[in-house]
Structure 1
Amino acid sequence: MTNSSAADPKRSPLKPPKPPKPLHLTAPPISLPAHSDSSLIIDSAADLAVPEPHACPPRPFSSSYSVLQPSSMPIPSLARSSTSPAPPPSRGSRSVGSRSVSPVPPPPIRPGSLPRTASPLDAVIVAAGTPPPLPSRPTSALFESKKDAAVRRGLELKSVDISKFDPPPKRAFSLTRKPTYPADKPPPPQLQPQLHSKTQPRSHSQSQLQTKPATAPALEPGSFPTPPSGCNTLPHDPDTIPRTFPTIRSTGTPVPYFNARVRNVYTKDARVIACNNRKLYVMGNMLTVTDLVSGRHIYTYGTEETRFTAIGFCGTETWIGTKEGALKVLDHHGNLVETRKRCHSASVHAIYSLDNSMWTLDAEGRLKIWSADETEGSSFPTLQHSPGTYKVLPHFSAALLVNKELWVARKDIISVYTPLADTFQKCQFHIRSDDRIGAVTCAAVIEGKSSDVYIGHTSGHVSVFCSKTYQCKKTVFVSIHRILAMCAVQSTIWLVLSSGRVQVYDPEGENWTMLRDWKEFSGNTTYLLQTRIVSDHSRIEHYELPVALLGPDHQVRIWNGVLKDDAVNRCAITKHDEYCTFDSITVFACTWNAGDAKAAAASSSDRREFAEMLQTAKGCDILFFGFQELIDLGNKQMAAKSMFRSKRSRKVDQGNSALAIEYKEWLDTLTTLVDKELVGDTYTMVYSDGMMGLFSVVFVKNQRMMNIHSVRASLVKTGLGGLHGNKGALVVRFRYDDTPVCFVNCHLAAGQTSVIQRNDDFVTILESKLTAVESEEARAIQLFANNGNGSLILDHEVCFVLGDMNYRIGLPRGDVMRLLSADNLDKLLKSDQLRQELNRNPDMKLRLFNEKEIAFMPTYKYDVGTNNYDSSSKMRVPAWCDRIFYRAGNERTSIEALDYRRHEITLSDHRPVTGIYKVRVKDVDEDKFAQVVSRCRDEWKLRFAERYLNESD
């Protein structure tokens, strides 16, 4: 019999066989006991200590990992499943290559079955230290597989009866997320962290903390057996959680900038931003620090090869994390104090400061807590000591430190960890059980009010959780767009949406209040919003807190998050009785899509209807008429003139074009009817103009003319959505005493399915910049709403929006006609597109307005000259296209709807709609108003100083 070396044809028979290569092992070679049947059978505990052939040598003891004691780690079973794959044969310290073994015939194979293979030695993971002795393994033989025979020739293996092996263990399966354990085995032990907060007495010395840091095991979600008190691991029932819309107070008005000299900061490749101590920190490949007051560049740190991913502050020191998992500490001059590589095995995601410790969290869910060196009396945490290490939910989308607890969210799961408690616990719960609320994207908490945790979602919702009971208190539907970023500034919540809008909310009360809302960027981009409020007493003098927003253009915008003017304005409005005297007027408003009808073509019945319509306005102080499609929109030459004619040619009493004649014909008709039908009252026309088929006329009773000031008009185009650009709005505004009044005559996008376009038209109209009426700040506050100056429609305290809004009914024509025959208007109104948008869409800007209840038939579409709905081949569905909405901007004014009806004029395919409203107007005593504003500012400064000092203590 030849040995294995002689069997190799490439090895020379004259040379002696080479001894096997020694393995670099720390344990001495173990001699093999004599066995008659096999040289690879394990029968003693000493054999189990033989390492795997390609295993790493034993690692010297490191304080970065805790030692699991034998009593705390269950020893894996050595019994091999008959179905598990066999590992490659081991080449331990046994010299089996030079032994002579006799070949053994292969075992018999039953028909229809394949030979099964088994490895001569299982892979065993042994904890550091000496394991307890194991019972001897029963002696058995293993048969040789073809693969093993090709690799290791000459090994003598015997066949074994496979039926003697135990069946493979069955995998536990459960529909729940909690792990299941066998009845005879307890759950895995839970390790306690040895890092304590400074308020708890230390049970170990600092030297023990350095040599044996606490390391929490990497457990699967839901595997902590003892969740904190109050934790509910079940999904929250969406039907029991209040869902609300925010109350819109303002839209289109941005927040004032933090500093006029430092409005925008341009960056090259920014990824992370932060504000601290009136400094802006922008990080990408480099860290750049800028003074927000002077605009002066302070310092730059880093190299092009480094990628910074996180930043935190501890006193005058700045902690930064890198993509490679390294941590660096800089002083306030940008000098490197200390650094440590490979602190994390993944990119550092966040850095938090808590008491005298720093928390660093990476993308793989490894949390490390760095404490101060108490032996040296230092209050600053250091990288020189070994941190406490914990395992949390990996690949999270949002993380937040709340009351010494770490909130981590991924998709629809939120996990709360308590690393500073006596027992490292986790509470895990679902935020939804349906598809109405999307995955988590961001989170925030208001300093000084940490009982509420605000969670943003992809669906545009904000969930409010209680940090003590972990229960969802309410859900606020703020937008149909994704919430990309969120931060808390004093008592307000700032949101950045995927549509490019920035919104500021006051979360107090049952319903949130939208304080500011404006569009900052184009949509479909990625944003990053971070802000920090620092304990800087010099801020009280300036009343400034910066909010920095990093946009897709790598430009950082910095606003003042204090909103002082908003607070002073709201305070002055609540004291309006001290400086205002009030009066009431009545306003008549009419909207009608004339459909290119000529006034001379009106029949006698139509003239009677016109007379009756005007008689309903008897006694009204202001008459407003808004017409749409007053010219032939199919005439391209007329439409082009309407779009591009100069301002001078807009006057109806100037120019001899056919376009001016169209408007002048209807103006003469209205003037005649007003003088004829409203007997006893005389009116003066204060404004008339037309463009793009829109025509607006304002009459004021002569007794009220002395109260009218600053009549102006503006045109807002909503693009070429109409065939020839005929869609848009004609805005007429004036001041009645000290009450700004605005009328918006609009014509929106047509079509049954153009709901989104019509919504966008409203946004364009309401947020279009008009010519500011007042530039003086004090005068603007006493006149306009929402701290405006008259440059926006919503700055006006009294506002009417009327016209052909083109919203349809979302039902088939047959169903609509049956409901109309049954006079079932309530069911029809439930399918009205405009009502549905008001009830379901929080971004619908018309939610700022009110409409009196509709009690009349749909006003569109009729056969001209008849009372029959459309009988053409298109068979359009009847709809309430013609509407009138109104809004009182604040508590100083009020509007009461007295009448809302349609009129049976058959001259067009639309029916005109009119409304009568009682409006409260104000007259301001400027001296008294100045005293109130001064008092409100002093009260606000006092409240701000008290709250800011309390937060900084």
Structure 2
Amino acid sequence: MGDQDEVSLAVSSLRSRFEQLAAGSGLKSSADAPPLSPRPGGTFPRARAASNNSLTVDSTIHALRASSSSSDLKSPVSDVLDPKSAALKRPPPPPPTRAKPSVSPAPSPLTRPVPLPPSASNGNGNGNGNAARADVREMQPGDLASMKGPFYGGSALRSTSMSISKPPVPPVPPRPTFMISESPENGSSRQRRSESPLGFAEREAETQAASPPKLSRSNSNPVEDLDYTTDPSSPSPAPPPAPPPRSSRPGLPPPPPRHRTSRSPQPDAPSNSNLPPPLPHRRPTVPYLAPPENRSSPSPRRSTMAKPAVAQPLPETPSDSSSPSPNGDRKPLSKFQPPPTRTIALGDKLPAARRAAEGSSDDEEGPEEDASAASRIVDTIPDSSSSSRRLPTLSFRPGFPPPQLRFHPHSGCVIASGPNLVVSHVHHIKIYNLEISDAPLYDLDMKQLGMKDTKVLSMEFSPSMNKEDRGAFVWMGTKDGSILELDIRSGALTATKPSAHLHPVCQMFRHGRSMVSLDESGKALIFSPDPEHPEQDVSLTYTTPRAVRTTDKTDFVKLLDGKLWTASRTEHSGGGSLGRVVPIIRVFDIFNTAAPGKSIMPSEHCGQVTSATILPTEPDRVYMGHEEGYVSIWNLDTDDGWPSCTEVTKVSTSDIMCLEGVNERLWAGSRNGLISAYDVRQTPWIMTNQWQAHNAYPVLKIFVNFRAIETNQKLCVVSLGRDELVKLWDGLLGVDWVENELVKNESSFSTFQDINALVVSWNCDAARPESLNDGGRNAEFFTDVFSSVTTPPDIISFSFQEVIDLESRKMAAKNMLLGGKKKDDALSDRVTGAYKRWHDKFVSVVKAAFGPLGVEYTAVLTESMVGLFSCLFVRNTNEFVCREKHIAAIKRGMGGRYGNKGAVIARVVIGDSSLCFINCHLAAGQHAIKQRNSDIAAILEEKGIFEPSPLETAYVRGGDGTMVLDHEFVLVNGDLNYRIDVTRRETYLSSFRSGDLSNLLAHDQLLQQMRNNKTFRLRGFSEGPITFLPTYKYDPRSDEYDTSEKRRHPAWCDRILWKAREADRMQQLSYKRYEVNVSDHRPISATFVIRVKNIQTEARERAKAIVEAAWADEQMRILDSAQKFYVRQALM
């Protein structure tokens, strides 16, 4: 009995913590221990088979359970310190074997089960049977392996003094300093663990408990994301609940781990220490610090040389266990510190301040504009401010108007060779010789040619070694797949190839001495000369074609540089968003049998492909037109011989319908009937010419009649429009060359006269004229203005803004909705009354100032638009004649529907020079730079502002006076609203006190745009030196800048700019401001000397004849260069 008692005592003293947790009474609840972590290799604990059935086990033991906390492995000190008793005890049996389902790597680590809280147990602190079985399944194999060494060896019993080899344990990252403290109980516990044969398993469990939780990541490692296996019959775990804690229900599967842990003690769990609950479970730290390249292989363990810091408990605070911990969202501690969190990227501007209250229209502070891709693309639109609007018409009969030919835009086909044009439409073919007549020489029907029901779909002139036969034979592709040859000199068919294709022949090309036909299925037939008989031309009857397979259902096909370029509307790359569509372009080297086709794509977003061309001056580049106004540029000189996209630029707000390289210019046709010529030698491009070609109908095709170079010494360009017209243009733009040379010699046939102009601009902030009668400097305003000129001016322009209260919502709504009412309406009387008061004021002050001098003025133009008011006075004199007096308004507020922002434009012609005065009020806001740029661009490029004028010599660049930039002299004045980009108010004040304005002018938005923005429409305008303080924003009736809550930065919002075709013909004499304090703006004025011309018609005609003779020599030089290019391209 004594020996048995010693054995029983030894066994009870060595009973592991696994048995104590499974025992019935006096043990801690399973909810206090977090689940075990998976091993780095991705393995999970499973039950082991029993290996020693002769051992007796206490009936109170249910199962073994893994432990994850060092505090749970405590045993009585006497049991551990008695080696004799420990040697006589027998180990407990292993748990029964349980089948385990396969583990899927898909679930997130957050769905791992955790032990139930104490309230979920059966009241005895041990948990129910289900929880016990789950604990068995969650046990790590390594933990049982640590028990096998001392108990299941070959010998009977082993002493605790024997050394046990331990595998390396990964060190634990240091815990936060606020959690590091030590209790005597922890110290003794560590001493006991070091002497226990189960020390490795305890240290591993302590490592898992002490490791801080790792945040979940979207791109997780499959090894790290393996989940514990739970009962298949159990429902999926619910997401972590929000406090207050949910009610526990016995028998449910373990809930997922909480995102936040509480430092409060578990009130239901019995505890004999002041230790805090263990930290929540986290994934292994080794893959997190050094993720392996091969996820299927486990990461190596870290060295045990680095000892983790000892985590000491925090002082207990009585609180509910479910309350979130303040450090629940703590970042995982790892080898490296986490990067700082930023909400604004480095270098980004701070967002605009929120508006505190409503103010005037000038106080609108819009959101800061971002440098998005869209806005950067808009900045690449070519500058059109100096483009010519002359029509470069061409005629093959000198002295006759250009021909007016018609075709069918949907089923028609047009080709040209010298003066000969062939137009086909289904069953009919018309042949023209434009040197003889605009009427067709032959009007053929396919029935007359013996080809009943034959429909022509494509045509091209065939090559010939005989010079007389060049441009005489036409190959025609038909709908039934046949190819016909027609002699345009006789109007007869010379050859046929029936059923050459099985599908309709939709395209016909010529390259060198070869002909290429392409049908709708993508099959191409190449007719090339016989190498054994190179002197013979290709024959539709005798030449055997070579078949090449390309892509079918193409919307764009063109032969460029010997390669066939195709694109389909249905083929594109990118997501479902139309804004990210990139077309797929297929290129086939059809003349190289060993080279297959290749698919290429633009480097940036652009619309579907519509056209492509090569510039004669840049033969190694292809310019491809796209919808949405884009042009992609492709480099042909590459290492592999296939094109590569180098740039995508936006050149128009309308779709690019067709492109053609003509001499040094890239011609583009748009949907609105315009043809534009671009100079692509600089970035951004410059629009040198633009004219209305097809009366607002889309331009369908542009091509060069290169045979006219050889036969007629003309570079003829043919355009086809949806208006069913065929038009011919001069590709050399000779009319512009002649006019530009005449401008250079204008002094030889013109006389000049100087006139003085006074321009006054003021944002009066709804002030009435009576507000200037309070004495002092306000009453002297107009006197000071007129004293700025030494002699009475010939023109006086008053440009006022905010004449009415724009913040009156009632007035704004009525003005927008009822602004079209008749003049006897009450609202019209109210609005007109404000303008009339100022008009009467202008008349009275002008008469008072210059009447005593015997100078009289007449208000020739007056116009108002929702706050804008312009009044133009012209001196009554016989020295010059004022003609073409017109005035109009352009709305820019609310997308062009409201006139609170916009411009009033006045135009007069004095002598043979046109003058345009623009009173504008642009978009407000510190950061609304692009909106202001858009407003001024829309004003300057608005079409049809005035009626066309018959005075061609009074306007520039071929204009007829319908647009702003058609005028020789343009003055832009008003509240442009450009601000100063200085963030600190102290910078303003210091500059003002010191009188140094150069620092502020360097940050002026208008000057920055004129200096740096190549697409800025005011870039070609001039402004005099600014020597006065900013004119905005003042407190009304004071000399203090804005002292309101917003404290807006002072700025030069009120400006006067000018532009002249010849810069030396317009000079500014003064530029100043006035100290009128009834508004938040200060008024400004400027005086100019403008040199107008008077043309002598006969002298001009003589000079023009000389220039035209010089153009004939220049024309031959350009034509010779163009002919060489088309020969190199194998088109001639």
Normalized against structure 2, the TM-score is what?
Answer: 0.50
Q: Provide closer, same or farther for how the CA distance between residues 833 and 579 of structure 1 changes in structure 2, counting only shifts above 3 A.
A: closer
Match of 1:318 among 474, 482, 499: 474
How far apart are 1:798 and its partner, in Å? 1.3
Give runs of aligned pairs for residues 17-416 of structure 1, distance below 5 A.
245-246=382-383, 248-250=385-387, 256=393, 263=404, 265=406, 267=408, 269-270=410-411, 274-277=415-418, 289=430, 291=432, 294=438, 296=440, 298-299=443-444, 310-314=458-462, 315-321=471-477, 327-332=483-488, 337-340=494-497, 350-361=507-518, 367-372=524-529, 379-382=537-540, 385-390=543-548, 400-402=558-560, 404=562
Q: Which residue of 2 aligns with 1:593?
A: 763
Question: 1:125-166 deviations in whole A, cap 9, x for unaligned?
Answer: xxxxxxxxxxxxxxxxxxxxxxxxxxxxxxxxxxxxxxxxxx
* Residues 1:887 and 2:1043 are matched in the alignment: no
Give runs of aligned pairs for residues 559-638 of structure 1, distance below 5 A.
559-562=728-731, 563-580=733-750, 587-602=757-772, 603=774, 604-618=776-790, 622-631=795-804, 634=811
Q: Which residue of 2 aligns with 1:744?
A: 918
Give the letter aligned to residue 882 of structure 2: H
**d(CA) in 1 for partners of 2:1043, 2:499:** 77
Q: Give the secondary structure class of the aligned counterpart of 1:928.
A: helix
Q: Which moved more, 1:449-458 or 1:310-319?
A: 449-458
* Contact 1:786–1:795, Cα closer than 8 Å, also in 2: yes
How far apart are 1:492 and its partner, in Å? 3.3
For structure 2, which runs of at least 5 residues remain unmatched after alignment? 1-101, 103-375, 463-470, 569-581, 992-996, 1124-1131
How far apart are 1:378 and its partner, in Å? 5.2
Question: 1:459-514 deviations in whole A, cap 9, x for unaligned?
Answer: 75556667667798998763355533211344432112467643123456888542
Question: 1:744-799 deviations in whole A, cap 9, x for unaligned?
Answer: 223457788796698367546644436668636xxx34x43112344443222111
Q: Give the secondary structure class of the aligned counterpart of 1:567.
A: helix
Give the letter aligned to residue 358 of structure 1: M
How far apart are 1:617 and its partner, in Å? 4.1
For structure 1, which runs of at least 5 residues remain unmatched after alignment? 1-111, 113-238
Q: Provide closer, same or farther for how the CA distance between residues 358 and 856 of structure 1 changes in structure 2, counting only shifts above 3 A.
A: farther
* Residues 1:664 and 2:820 are matched in the alignment: no
Question: 1:655-691 deviations in whole A, cap 9, x for unaligned?
Answer: 9984673243231354157549xx9996744634233
Q: Provide closer, same or farther for how the CA distance between residues 886 and 308 of structure 1 changes in structure 2, counting only shifts above 3 A.
A: farther
**d(CA) in 2 for partners of 1:740, 1:858:** 32
**d(CA) in 2 for partners of 1:617, 1:323:** 78
* Contact 1:895–1:920, Cα closer than 8 Å, also in 2: yes
**d(CA) in 1 for partners of 2:694, 2:1011:** 25
Give the letter aligned to residue 687 of structure 1: V
How far apart are 1:879 and its partner, in Å? 6.8
* Contact 1:301–1:334, Cα closer than 8 Å, also in 2: no
How far apart are 1:710 and its partner, in Å? 1.8
Q: Provide closer, same or farther for how the CA distance between residues 306 and 447 of structure 1 changes in structure 2, counting only shifts above 3 A.
A: farther
Question: 1:295-339 deviations in whole A, cap 9, x for unaligned?
Answer: 558346699998866442222333344678664444437765555
Q: Which residue of 2 aligns with 1:558?
A: 727
Q: Which residue of 1 aligns with 2:668?
A: 495
Q: Give the secondary structure class of the aligned counterpart of 1:706.
A: coil
Q: Which residue of 2 aligns with 1:516?
A: 689
Q: Which residue of 1 aligns with 2:886?
A: 713
**d(CA) in 1 for partners of 2:892, 2:712:** 47
Question: 1:848-892 deviations in whole A, cap 9, x for unaligned?
Answer: 54455777776556554445677889998977654433222257x
Normalized against structure 1, the TM-score is what?
Answer: 0.58
* Contact 1:808–1:832, Cα closer than 8 Å, also in 2: yes
Give the letter aligned to residue 738 of structure 2: V
Greater helix fraction, Structure 1 or Structure 2: 2
* Contact 2:385–2:965, Cα closer than 8 Å, also in 1: no
Give runs of aligned pairs for residues 922-941 of structure 1, distance below 5 A.
922-941=1093-1112
How far apart are 1:425 and its partner, in Å? 5.5
**d(CA) in 1 for partners of 2:1083, 2:847:** 19
**d(CA) in 2 for partners of 1:839, 1:846:** 12
* Residues 1:800 and 2:960 are matched in the alignment: no
How far apart are 1:453 and its partner, in Å? 4.0
* Contact 1:755–1:807, Cα closer than 8 Å, also in 2: no
Match of 2:623 among 454, 474, 486: 454
Q: Which moved more, 1:925-934 or 1:464-473?
A: 464-473
**d(CA) in 1 for partners of 2:545, 2:817:** 73
Match of 1:483 among 656, 660, 663: 656
**d(CA) in 1 for partners of 2:458, 2:1003:** 50
* Contact 1:398–1:409, Cα closer than 8 Å, also in 2: yes
Question: 1:375-417 deviations in whole A, cap 9, x for unaligned?
Answer: 6975354265332345668887765545555566895888877
* Contact 2:675–2:693, Cα closer than 8 Å, also in 1: yes
Q: Give the secondary structure class of the aligned counterpart of 1:929.
A: helix
Give the letter aligned to residue 313 of structure 1: F
How far apart are 1:561 and its partner, in Å? 3.4
> Number of residue pairs matched?
691
The root-mean-square deviation of aligned C-alpha atoms, in Å, is 5.6
Q: Which moved more, 1:494-503 or 1:869-878?
A: 869-878
* Contact 2:860–2:874, Cα closer than 8 Å, also in 1: no
* Residues 1:769 and 2:910 are matched in the alignment: no
* Contact 1:729–1:747, Cα closer than 8 Å, also in 2: yes
Q: Give the secondary structure class of the aligned counterpart of 1:249.
A: coil
* Contact 1:275–1:546, Cα closer than 8 Å, also in 2: no
Q: Which residue of 2 aligns with 1:227?
A: none
**d(CA) in 2 for partners of 1:641, 1:243:** 40
* Contact 1:368–1:390, Cα closer than 8 Å, also in 2: yes
Match of 1:548 among 716, 719, 729: 719
Give the letter aligned to residue 914 of structure 1: S
* Contact 1:565–1:787, Cα closer than 8 Å, also in 2: no
Question: 1:237-294 deviations in whole A, cap 9, x for unaligned?
Answer: xx9xx98955642366665587868658474734765555556666776666475762
Q: Provide closer, same or farther for how the CA distance between residues 914 and 395 of structure 1 changes in structure 2, counting only shifts above 3 A.
A: farther
Give the letter aligned to residue 668 of structure 1: V
Identity %: 24
Give the letter aligned to residue 294 of structure 1: D
Q: Which moved more, 1:825-834 or 1:755-764?
A: 825-834
How far apart are 1:550 and its partner, in Å? 2.7
Q: Which residue of 1 aligns with 2:237?
A: none
Q: Give the secondary structure class of the aligned counterpart of 2:779.
A: helix
Q: Provide closer, same or farther for how the CA distance between residues 271 and 545 of structure 1 changes in structure 2, counting only shifts above 3 A.
A: same
**d(CA) in 1 for partners of 2:644, 2:766:** 60
How far apart are 1:706 and its partner, in Å? 0.9
* Contact 1:611–1:673, Cα closer than 8 Å, also in 2: no
Q: Which residue of 2 aligns with 1:180?
A: none
